[in-house]
Amino acid sequence: MSAVPPGRLPRVLQVLPALGAGGVERTAVDVAAGLVAAGVETFVASEGGRLVHDVERAGARHITLPLATKNPFRMRSNVRRLREVIRAEGIELLHARSRAPAWSARAAARAEGLPFVTTYAGTYNENFAGKRYYNGIMAAGDAVIANSHFIAAHVLERYPEARGRLVTIPRGIDIHSFDPARVSQERVIAIARAWRMPDGLPVVLMPGRLTRWKGHSFLVDALAALGRQDIVCFIVGDDQGRNKYRAELEEKIRHLGLGGVVRIVGHCRDMAAAYMLADVVVAPSLEPEAFGRIPVEAQAMGKPVVATDHGGFRETVLPGETALLVPPGDVAALATAIGDALALDLTTRQAIAVRGREHVEATWTVEHMVASTLDVYRGLMAGR
């Protein structure tokens, strides 16, 4: 392989299990688009998913590999597959965004003499022997990117040897897509019709894939405690095959007499328009979010936020200005906060909208995230 001029952006291969609708996946797409915009051919490898189209639309190439597997023999086979891709495409740096593919990617990078970058994007449970070792691959990069200060502290607590290689790059959102001024009335009407939204009722919006720790059940309990039937709550997100959990939620909604209040509407491809319908956006995660893009998107769209007081949420909102924070699992506190947010007058809402937008534009943008990530790539290439 030919030498790389110092500081030049390399041809990067990002690896992750699949390209679904999560924050990790969206970040991979954003970074790929940034590399393409800088004139560098770039690649993303995964088992596929709905965001493959976004990768290709950005001008990057998607390579389909069985990277979601945790089978040790298949992971070893993935080392060979990745080495073949490296050689065929002239890859100069590997960037892993999830644990299982990271093990294969590091082995391939070492075998080919390439820099290896990881993004540590979660707290990762340690619920059985050896799990900390398994998770440790995400702290083993030549550069380790933490997507929030909360995660950076978490990494250093468990893997202090990563200190000299750790950099914090907050995840960003596309503030051009999440901009109230760019969302047409037709788009908002289309979402309202698709969800059969009743006229004139205040709207509570909870975006987030259907998984237990996101706090859907906590929110349903809080709405029951609030005791209002003159509102509507939309739970927006893919169940990703968790049919049992969705059925459990639906049964709870019926049992608590909230059938006319809470609606589970599934995946939404136009979240900017969905936010426009909301009077308050709720992020009630029971476990700390590594970053948590929902409050950031909501603030960019000028909406008041109610979120749980832990993890990345503490970094991304302005308590008392753009958001109310409540203890995780505290049903009464969440009910009170939702009620207070729904009661905000127009002047206060307008002030929140302005402040929230300013706050996001200052820090939490895709442009900042991508530029910082590309600087990491340049630094590694310059140091070779």
Q: Over range 309-338, report the average pLDDT.
A: 96
Question: Do 46 and 58 fall within a single domain?
Answer: yes
Is the model's pLDDT at 200 over the cut of 60?
yes
Is the model's pLDDT at 1 over the cut of 70?
no
Q: Give the model confidence (pLDDT) of 258-316 as tens digits.
A: 999 999 999 999 999 999 999 999 999 999 999 889 999 999 999 999 999 999 999 99
Question: Do 156 and 213 fall within a single domain?
Answer: no
Least confident of 72-76, 95-99, 121-125: 121-125
In a domain, 6, yes or no: no
Predicted local distance difference test score (pLDDT) of residue 4: 47
Question: Do 67 and 167 fall within a single domain?
Answer: yes
Question: Do 376 and 303 fall within a single domain?
Answer: no
CATH number at residue 193: 3.40.50.2000
Q: Over range 171-183, report the average pLDDT.
A: 94
Question: Do 299 and 281 fall within a single domain?
Answer: yes
Predicted local distance difference test score (pLDDT) of residue 7: 67
Least confident of 3-12, 171-180, 328-337: 3-12
Task: Report residue 347's pLDDT band, with 50, 70 and 90 as the boundaries.
Answer: very high
In a domain, 4, yes or no: no
Predicted local distance difference test score (pLDDT) of residue 80: 97
In a domain, 112, yes or no: yes
Average pLDDT score over the chain:
94
Contact by Cβ (8 Å): 378, 117: no
Question: Do 358 and 369 fall within a single domain?
Answer: no
In a domain, 230, yes or no: yes
Predicted local distance difference test score (pLDDT) of residue 2: 43
Is the model's pLDDT at 104 over the cut of 70?
yes
Domain count of the chain? 2
Question: Do 261 and 349 fall within a single domain?
Answer: yes
Task: Report residue 195's pLDDT band, with 50, 70 and 90 as the boundaries.
Answer: very high
Q: Give the model confidence (pLDDT) of 127-150 as tens digits.
A: 777 899 999 999 999 999 999 999
Predicted local distance difference test score (pLDDT) of residue 126: 82
Which domain covers residue 292, as residue numbers? 180-363
Task: Report residue 6's pLDDT band, with 50, 70 and 90 as the boundaries.
Answer: low
Question: Do 129 and 273 fall within a single domain?
Answer: no
Is the model's pLDDT at 94 over the cut of 80?
yes
Question: Do 244 and 324 fall within a single domain?
Answer: yes
Question: Do 144 and 23 fall within a single domain?
Answer: yes
Task: Report residue 198's pLDDT band, with 50, 70 and 90 as the boundaries.
Answer: very high
In a domain, 61, yes or no: yes
